[in-house]
Structure 1
Amino acid sequence: MIKLKTALKYIFLIIVSLISVFPLYWMAVSATHTSIEVIRGALLPGNYLFKNFANLLAASDVSGAMTNSFKYSIVMTVLALFICSLAGYGFEIYHDRAKDAIMSVLLLAMMVPFVAIMIPLFQTFSKWGLLNTTLGFLLPTISTPFLIMLFRQSARSFPHDILEAARLDGLNEFHIFLRIFIPTMKSTYASAAIITFMGAWNSYLWPKVIMTEKTSITMPMLVANLKEGYVTDYGILMLAVLLCSIPTVIIFFLLQKQFAEGITGAVK
């Protein structure tokens, strides 16, 4: 009876896994077919991949969009991790009621939809001359309440005895943060890096508003542009979606173990 239950569990998990993976498989297979074959629902790989790739390069600036996406996402990830971890560290290590009140305000800010502040942001950034700039892309989301809360929760498991020992050894607070806190919280940084990179890479609405020139286009914007017009080549579209998905998939698989540890608050 126990073996039967175990077998049924594995069968269920296999079926659910196949259902979850199927969209990715269909996307990859569709990139190797013509638009008509994609519409017909082809499920086996075709031989139109290189032709679709050539057509995609001819129709769009893929290299420019990929470069912009990598540039924005990497800079966003590095700056967001440093700023949010420093804020989370300060909120917890130097804890008091005033900081709790500020943190509550930050968490309440998460309830405000971005579209509610998008127009004022655009008007402000336009006056400041930040359209089509990396800084204009970064500023609205360079620090998020979620990441600050994530690092604050992780800092609660940080041993305070180490802080006292480091202070006795003559380290100042910023050196303690750089030399002790950051290396100790590697799993949290990994999970935050995945969340930030994927969010920046997949961001569409704000870049669409702030990036008004074709040279500033990102991969999600490129994919959206392929759907414009009266006729859509689904083979090219699926190839563009595949290229857009590969970096985030690689990042997640490389850091998935640290991601799980960071989310659960594990500290090594």
Structure 2
Amino acid sequence: MTRTKWRKVPGYAFLSVFALFSLFPLYFMIVSSTNTSQDVLGSRLLPGGNLIANFQALIGAADLGSAMWYSAVNAVATTLAALLVCSIAGYGFEIYHSKGKDVLMAVLLLAMMIPFAATMIPLFRLFASAGMVNSTFAVILPAISTPFLILLFRQASRNFPHEILEAARLDGLSELAIFARIYIPTMRSTYAAAAVITFMTAWNNFLWPKVILLDNAYQTMPMLISNLSAGYVTNYGVLMLAVLLASLPTMIIFLVLQRSFAAGMTGAIK
């Protein structure tokens, strides 16, 4: 081994140790889902044989299929709507740039500093007056336009070649056709990054669905997990299995789109 490679060994060792620390919670979650509640409380680190029993107890205690379905519907619908709305906004802020839009963007960024708890009660009263309590639309609508995603698309649009826009306009394409046929395919890495962030946020969203969905028949996976841990006696093996099942969709989405996510967060355009 050359001297240069030997110099890299401490760095790789350091990263390996922190990688193990990062992966340990995932490992413990998977192992705990196969053990009894007593084994989980005893911090057993080896797989057990209680996975089927935990799954049977889970589907007996809660409507797992319904919770997964409502979580998926909310997350997918929120992601698609947010990508469309925020990309159009970010495109408009940068491509049709003006000082007034800079002021409006500054106001949107200031809105990021307002905690959701401060707007939750007025938001609930608004949806209640519109008769939208216990509806999927009430869960989706507040999340389809976020300052962060608008800023992400605006910053990525700064690298978008304006010469293509001018050429497309000379060829007679409308602004809508330019956006749909040129901008969206060119910015696919940014869309992938935004999709990962939005899907994870929507899937893991707990507070707002808990407030607006008053009927447990519409509960999502975070609400189901909360209900499992709210009893007098908590079966931690069942709870960890529910957490594992709730984590799988977000892990799959991230693993599938991780390269595009990294490129999109760095502002790369392909």
With normalisation by structure 1, the TM-score equals 0.99
Alignment of 1:106-117 (within 5 A): 106-117=108-119
Aligned mates of 2:5, 2:213 — CA distance in 1: 58
Aligned mates of 1:262, 1:179 — CA distance in 2: 19
Aligned mates of 2:22, 2:67 — CA distance in 1: 28
Q: Which residue of 1 aligns with 2:50?
A: 48
Aligned residue among 184, 187, 199 for 1:185: 187
The answer for unaligned runs of 5 or more in structure 1 is none
Aligned mates of 2:7, 2:58 — CA distance in 1: 49
Question: 1:3: how far off?
Answer: 3.8
Aligned mates of 1:186, 1:3 — CA distance in 2: 37
Question: 1:5: how far off?
Answer: 2.7
The answer for unaligned runs of 5 or more in structure 2 is none
Q: Which residue of 1 aligns with 2:23?
A: 21
Aligned mates of 2:87, 2:183 — CA distance in 1: 9
Alignment of 1:109-258 (within 5 A): 109-258=111-260
Over the aligned positions, Cα root-mean-square deviation in angstroms equals 0.7
Q: Is 2:90 aligned against 1:72?
A: no
Q: Which residue of 2 aligns with 1:63?
A: 65
Kindly provide the amino acid, as one letter, of the partner of residue 215 in structure 1.
A
User: Equivalent residue of 1:131, what SS?
Assistant: coil
Q: Which residue of 1 aligns with 2:261?
A: 259
Kindly provide the amino acid, as one letter, of the partner of residue 253 in structure 1.
L
User: Equivalent residue of 1:267, what SS?
Assistant: coil
Kindly provide the amino acid, as one letter, of the partner of residue 61 in structure 1.
D
Aligned residues: 268
Q: Which residue of 1 aligns with 2:101?
A: 99
User: Equivalent residue of 1:240, what SS?
Assistant: helix
Kindly provide the amino acid, as one letter, of the partner of residue 36 in structure 1.
Q
Question: 1:4: how far off?
Answer: 3.5
With normalisation by structure 2, the TM-score equals 0.98
Aligned mates of 2:53, 2:44 — CA distance in 1: 17
Aligned mates of 1:10, 1:101 — CA distance in 2: 46
Moved over 6 A (4+): none
